[in-house]
Amino acid sequence: MILNERASRHEQVMNIARQMMTAARTAPKGKGVDVIEIAMVTDEDIKRLSDEMIAIHEENGFKFFLRDADNIQSAECVIIIGTREHAHGLNCGHCGYTQCADRPQGVPCAIVSVDVGIAIGSACATAADHRVDTRVMFSAGLAAQRLGILEGCSQCFAIPVSASSKNPFFDRKPKQPENPPTELK
C-alpha cells in the first residue's frame, strides 16, 4: 500500500485539532473550577464565521478583521475557546474591583481570564508538537462569540489550524488603505 501524505492530511489535521481541544480541556484551572468551553468549526461554518468577521469590520472599520476573515478560509478547521462567567469569590481585587460583588456584569474575573489563556496556550503547544500551523485570533473569536458558537460564553478566541507548505496565518500582507496618502513634494 502506498499512502500519499496529501490524501491523509485533512484527517491528520482534524485528529490534531481534537487533541488540541483535549489539551485545552485538561489545562490547569483556577481553584479547580472548569468554566472553559471548546468547539471546532469546519466546512461551511468557517464561511459563516468569516462572514461575521466582515460584518464586524463594517461596524468598526478595523482592517485586520478583513485580513483574518480571508485567512481563516485557508484553515482546515478553527478551534474556538471561550469561558462562561464565574466569580471565584476570592475578593482579590485583580479584576479591578475590591469585592467580587462590586464587579459589574460583563467584567470578567481575572482568574477566569487567566484560565482561558492557559487553555489557549495548551492547545497551541499541542499544535506545535505536531507541526501544524496555527494563529490565535481575537477577531475570529469575537465573531464566534457574536454567533453564539459557544453558547453563554465570553472571552472567546479562535485558533485556525492548517497544514500546508507555508503557514497562511503569518507573513500576511496588510490591507492597503482605501485612500492612500499622497506623497508630499
Q: For residue 12, how far is the Cα from the chain centroid? A: 20
For 62, 69, 168, 175, the CA distances from 31, given in Å and listed in that order, are 37, 36, 37, 43
Give tens-digit pLDDT for 131-151.
999 999 999 999 999 999 999
Domain 19-162 class in CATH: alpha beta
Confidence (pLDDT) at 106: 87
Give tens-digit pLDDT for 99-127.
999 999 889 999 999 999 999 999 999 99
Three cell numbers at 9?
492530511
Q: Does the structure show a pLDDT above 50 at 5? A: yes
Alpha carbon distance 151, 129 (integer Å): 30
Confidence (pLDDT) at 177: 47
